Amino acid sequence: MHRRVPAPSPIWVGRQSELGRLQAMLEQLPVALVYGVGGVGKSTLVYALAAGRRGGPVVYDSVSPGEPLAALVDDARRQLARGAVPEALDDEERLLDLAGRLDEHGALWVLDDLHRLDEASRTRLVDVLGRELRSGRFVATSRELVPMLGGTADRFELKLGGLDERSAQALWANLDTLYGPSSGFDVAWARSRGNPFHLRRAHAGGVHEEDPSAAAIHALSPDQRLIATVLALSAFDMNVKLLERLLPEPRARAALRGLVVQLILEVDGSGRCMLHDIHRDALLASLSPEERKEHHARLATMLSEAELDPVVRVRERCRHLCACGRFEEAGRLLLESGAELIRLGVASELFRGFEAIPPEHRTPEIIHARARTLARLLDVRRAHEELLRLEVSTVREPLDIKASLAHVAMLAGDLAAAEHHARAVLEDPRATDALRMRTGTVFALTRTYRGFGDEARAFIDAAERTATLPAHLGFLRFTRAFTFWLDERNSEAVEAMGSARAVARDAPPTFRASVLGPMFYAGILSSAGRFERAGELLKQTESLVRHEQDPRLRVSWHAMHAMFLHERGERAAALSELRGLEDAFHRSGELLGELWARAWIGRERMLLGQCAEAERLLKETDALARERGILGVCAAIERSRREDPLVRLREERVEAPHPEKRGEVTRARAISALLSVAAGNAGAARAAIESVRATALGTDYGLDRAIVALAESLAARLAGHGDAEREARQRAEAEASTASVDPGLLERLSDALGATRLVTANGRAMLAGHVIVDARRHELRYPGHVVPLKQRPVLRKLLYALANRPGVVLPKELLVEQTWNKPYEPPVHDNLLWVNVCRLRELVSGSGMTLEREESGYQLRVPEQFVYIAPGRAD
């Protein structure tokens, strides 16, 4: 419900100068504080400001004693949204969202009694809004000045004191006109020091009292005192119609009139009754504990039918019920209202209601609901602890508790417990179909995270055979797709997701399914390189998630967005998103999500060349995952380690990447450039280098540019071009430094290639050899042929010895030593050497190479375009 700003008093005088200053300064600064002692007219001044405002909307609230910052800010957010708002994870997110909404609408937020917030909360509120607001404005009244933090944005501070004597006389004259003449201005002026409230009280007859407020309260009739006390205990200004229910007619109207005449109450044009804080304090001080309980109970009943914001109504009824000791009723109210509060985006409000019930009065149902609310608010750690302490046998619906335990235990990383509780539900004949589906999903995901994805999918297959509802069947197929995705079996995930979506079309739509389905489909499509459709789905769901109250949906969206960025090769952005997820999961105690995020952070750092930090993180994560039995994460960690460029180079892994995945394509071609140089394949090296230059643009690809510059440096060295080698090496180092690549990584990549030495027919230059003897990869290559040598150890050693010195007759002693590592003995080795030379001659026939026998030994004659790649240090 939208709370209107109260109208300024019709006898408001003497503050035009202050109003003008306030209006002028708000043109320049986003935040203003009006402060001073009680009764000087702070509220009336800001009401006048709001009444004269032109432009955006005005929202209003006043701080109730003990009210938390979260509730206050959420109320303002809902007023601006005129409905539900997304649940915020903490006060910082809450305040940033409020600032954005104030800016979006060009709105003014008027807040009364800021001093009632604790000092840390009011300081944070003023600081964040001062920093963040642009077109929005915030004005607050306070009896105290709010401290300024270091670096806090400027704000306008207006201290109100008493009226000057001339203005005080004008106020007195207006009161004479309104209520009839009254003597004693001189005494009132002396005692009040120009305080407008005390002047008005003096005009009403309290001039001779040392404490006019206490005297006025003492003089109230029982009916008047009842209405005033109810208002004093209420956290908001109540409407005349609501207050009239306290008494039969005409007593209610008579009592209200008397309170207005005595200036205890003010009633604005909308019928809202306002009690000044000075009177509120006096009334509350006069109540006995029994009277307080009686009035709290009365308010709890009255508010059940009041036309209020549903959140405020539940909050206030719960507060009054707890204040009079009716905790069981408060608990029932919260349980009945929980679904609506969550729908409105105030799960935090629901949790505060549960917190207000003392632990000894919390039923098992309350503890269960409280734990589920904590999990919804991403406080998995506390939710898990609460559920573990709950005695399941005392609950009316024990299977619900076990299902919740299974889910929360899985998120907390206690997979053995999650599986145990899930099995208990699935094996119980009392479990409903809906509960089986919900728990079956937890069971399948738990098995997948434990490293048994195939078993999980077999369980889903069996469950599908008994599913009767399209919604249940679709959800099971969706779960299968998700297990494939967790195992990074991407093509199978896409196929399974397509099947799930086909079935889901026949199921009744639910909001959660309509968001989760497309969201996870976007992540799965990204893994298959279908970025256009994935981007459309993410954009579609982002707008829904932004205005949805479920924090878990928002976290899931960010996880899929991180995967989208990763697969599209936006490495730095993906890393940033993943680090935010890791932090959110860590703060919530959601170990499963934290370990998953860390596995992918390690992968992203490997791709960026920050391999030392990546390995440190992955080693630590792997140890924790193995300790908890989360072997699915361990498998993801191993896949992340394989993105280390050194690993890829040593494995000579140049897999064919998906053509739409720019990151994979670029890295594969950069590694290929290095390998091609090492293999003496100048043409392939040049093609790979040019391809990388075309795609390795931006800060995400500094390591790729460094790798191809290193390849150019090595090629220049092999070709004997010293200047070009040095220039390319300097470019490689500069690219690596700018991209924050690990110091020494390029050197290690160079070493991994070995001290490669190329021997050519003319002994001078690196050629695009038509005939290549590659002692690193153990193969002979010539146009149209690749002859493997790995399984021919004797022939390859003999060939390498001859190819190392083409055209030179090598003595038999040397050939025997290098082939068999033994001293030459003619009776033993002559025939053996001749037989193997014959076999080798047959092996190289067609390549253009020939073996010739001389009296002292053998020589290898080679064509002009011949290259021999000698083994390096790594072999």
Q: What is the pLDDT of residues 814-827, one digit of tens each?
A: 999 999 999 999 88
Residue 505: per-residue pLDDT: 67
Whether residue 20 is found in the same domain as residue 153: yes
Q: Does residue 725 belong to any structural domain of this protein?
A: yes
> How far apart, in whole angstroms, are the C-alpha atoms of residue 198 and residue 163?
11
Residue 630: per-residue pLDDT: 97
Among 340, 362, 384, give the residue marking a domain's end: 362
DSSP per residue over 598-631, as a string? HHHHHHHHHHHT-HHHHHHHHHHHHHHHHHHT-H
Q: How confident is the model at residue 573 (pLDDT cuts 50, 70, 90)?
A: very high
Q: Which has the higher per-residue pLDDT, 237 or 653? A: 237
Among 753, 788, 809, give the residue marking a domain's end: 753
Q: What are phi and psi of 868, to 5 degrees?
A: -115, 125
Token pair belonging to 331: 């608990």
Selection from 382, 322, 325 nearest residue 353 by Cα: 322
Q: Does residue 572 belong to any structural domain of this protein?
A: no
Query: pLDDT, tens digit, for every residue of 82-93?
Result: 877 777 778 888
Q: Are strands 31-35 and 108-112 parallel, antiparallel or unpaired?
A: unpaired
DSSP per residue over 252-270, as a string? HHHHHHHHHHTTSEEE-TT
Selection from 288, 278, 284, 280 nearest residue 212 by Cα: 278
Q: How confident is the model at residue 54 (pLDDT cuts 50, 70, 90)?
A: confident
> How far apart, in whole angstroms, are the C-alpha atoms of residue 103 and residue 822?
86
Q: How confident is the model at residue 284 (pLDDT cuts 50, 70, 90)?
A: confident
**Gap between the terminal Cα atoms of the chain:** 76
Q: Which has the higher per-residue pLDDT, 54 or 395? A: 54
Quick one: average pLDDT of 184-200? 76
Selection from 277, 293, 286, 198 nearest residue 231 by Cα: 277
Place of tokens 């892994």: 653
Give the range among 300-309, 439-448, 546-555, 831-840 with minimum mean pLDDT. Answer: 546-555
Quick one: average pLDDT of 516-524? 90
Residue 212: per-residue pLDDT: 60
Whether residue 84 is found in the same domain as residue 156: yes
Whether residue 78 is found in the same domain as residue 137: yes
> How far apart, in whole angstroms, are the C-alpha atoms of residue 198 and residue 195?
5
Among 161, 192, 221, give the residue marking a domain's end: 161
Residues 6+ away with beta carbon under 8 Å from 492: 484
Token pair belonging to 339: 């679904």
Q: Does residue 378 belong to any structural domain of this protein?
A: no
Residue 757: per-residue pLDDT: 55
Whether residue 726 is found in the same domain as residue 823: no
Residue 1: per-residue pLDDT: 43
Whether residue 199 is found in the same domain as residue 336: no
Q: Domain total for the chain?
A: 6
Give the range among 34-48, 427-441, 647-661 with minimum mean pLDDT. Answer: 647-661
Token pair belonging to 11: 């006898």
Query: pLDDT, tens digit, for every residue of 408-425?
Result: 999 999 999 999 999 999
Whether residue 172 is found in the same domain as residue 309: no
Is the pLDDT score of 210 beyond 70? no
Selection from 721, 690, 726 nearest residue 708 by Cα: 690
Q: Does residue 109 belong to any structural domain of this protein?
A: yes
Report the chain's mean pLDDT, rounded to a whole number: 87
Q: Which has the higher per-residue pLDDT, 642 or 65? A: 642
> How far apart, in whole angstroms, are the C-alpha atoms of residue 332 and residue 531?
48
Is the pLDDT score of 392 beyond 80? no
Give the range among 484-488, 753-757, 790-794 with minimum mean pLDDT. Answer: 753-757
Quick one: average pLDDT of 103-118? 92
The fraction of the chain above a pLDDT of 90, given in percent, is 49
Residue 207: per-residue pLDDT: 46
Q: How confident is the model at residue 188 (pLDDT cuts 50, 70, 90)?
A: confident
Instruction: Give the angle subtended at the CA of 432 by the CAs of 428 and 437, to the nearest 5°.
Output: 95
Q: Does residue 500 belong to any structural domain of this protein?
A: no
Q: Which has the higher per-residue pLDDT, 618 or 510? A: 618
Residue 604: per-residue pLDDT: 98
How far is the CA of 58 from the CAs of 49, 99, 111, 239, 584, in angstroms? 10, 14, 11, 20, 34
How far is the CA of 293 from the CAs of 137, 323, 332, in angstroms? 40, 7, 19
Selection from 195, 204, 196, 275 nearest residue 235 by Cα: 275
Strand partners, 786: 781
Q: What are phi and psi of 188, to 5 degrees?
A: -60, -40
Query: pLDDT, tens digit, for every residue of 327-357?
Result: 999 999 999 998 888 877 778 888 889 999 9
CA 178 to chain CA centroid, Å, is: 59
CB 30 within 8 Å of CB 136: yes
Give the range among 149-163, 375-389, 730-744 with minimum mean pLDDT. Answer: 149-163
Instruction: Give the angle subtended at the CA of 673 by the CAs of 761 and 798, to the nearest 5°.
Output: 40
Is the pLDDT score of 122 beyond 50? yes
Quote the domain boundaries for residue 857. Answer: 771-869
DSSP per residue over 764-818, as a string? S-----SEEEETTTTEEEETTEEEE-TT-HHHHHHHHHHHTSTTSPEEHHHHHHH
Q: Does residue 427 belong to any structural domain of this protein?
A: yes
Q: Which has the higher per-residue pLDDT, 855 or 748? A: 748
Q: How confident is the model at residue 653 (pLDDT cuts 50, 70, 90)?
A: low
Residue 618: per-residue pLDDT: 97
Place of tokens 């939208």: 2
Beta strands in 222-343 (DSSP E): 265-267, 273-275
**H/E element, 133:** none
Give the range among 24-33, 458-467, 504-513 with minimum mean pLDDT. Answer: 504-513
Which CATH number goes with the domain that contains 807?
1.10.10.10
Residue 314: per-residue pLDDT: 92
Other Cβ atoms within 10 Å of 813 Cβ, number: 14
Quick one: average pLDDT of 670-695? 87
> How far apart, in whole angstroms, are the C-alpha atoms of residue 366 and residue 318?
14
The fraction of the chain above a pLDDT of 70, given in percent, is 92
Is the pLDDT score of 209 beyond 60? no
Whether residue 712 is found in the same domain as residue 841: no
Residue 85: per-residue pLDDT: 78
> How far apart, in whole angstroms, are the C-alpha atoms of residue 402 and residue 408?
10
> How far apart, in whole angstroms, are the C-alpha atoms of residue 438 and residue 410?
13
> How far apart, in whole angstroms, are the C-alpha atoms of residue 801 and residue 825?
19
Quick one: average pLDDT of 704-720? 88
Is the pLDDT score of 764 beyond 50? no
Whether residue 404 is found in the same domain as residue 458: yes
Which CATH number goes with the domain that contains 50?
3.40.50.300
Other Cβ atoms within 10 Å of 340 Cβ, number: 14
Whether residue 672 is found in the same domain as residue 744: yes
Q: How confident is the model at residue 637 (pLDDT cuts 50, 70, 90)?
A: very high
Residue 612: per-residue pLDDT: 96
Q: How confident is the model at residue 205 (pLDDT cuts 50, 70, 90)?
A: low
Quick one: average pLDDT of 597-607? 98
Quick one: average pLDDT of 665-671? 94
| Omega within 30 of 0 (cis) for the link into 250 | yes
What is the DSSP secondary structure assignment for residue 396, as one 8-state letter? S
Helix, strand, coil shares of the chain, percent, nearest 5, are 65, 5, 30
Quick one: average pLDDT of 52-62? 88
Q: Are strands 810-811 and 857-861 parallel, antiparallel or unpaired?
A: antiparallel
Is the pLDDT score of 765 beyond 50? no
Q: Does residue 87 belong to any structural domain of this protein?
A: yes
> How far apart, in whole angstroms, are the C-alpha atoms of residue 81 and residue 132?
19
Q: Does residue 219 belong to any structural domain of this protein?
A: no
Other Cβ atoms within 10 Å of 61 Cβ, number: 21
Whether residue 183 is found in the same domain as residue 128: no
> How far apart, in whole angstroms, are the C-alpha atoms of residue 81 and residue 848?
81
Kindly report the length of the chain: 875
Residue 318: per-residue pLDDT: 95
Is the pLDDT score of 107 beyond 90? yes
Token pair belonging to 578: 């993943």
Long-range contacts of 684-690 (CB under 8 A, 24+ apart): 685/711, 685/715
Whether residue 399 is found in the same domain as residue 446: yes
Q: How confident is the model at residue 859 (pLDDT cuts 50, 70, 90)?
A: very high
Residues 6+ away with beta carbon under 8 Å from 350: 334, 337, 338, 341, 342, 373
> How far apart, in whole angstroms, are the C-alpha atoms of residue 245 and residue 490?
66
Whether residue 21 is found in the same domain as residue 123: yes
Selection from 542, 571, 547 nearest residue 558 by Cα: 542
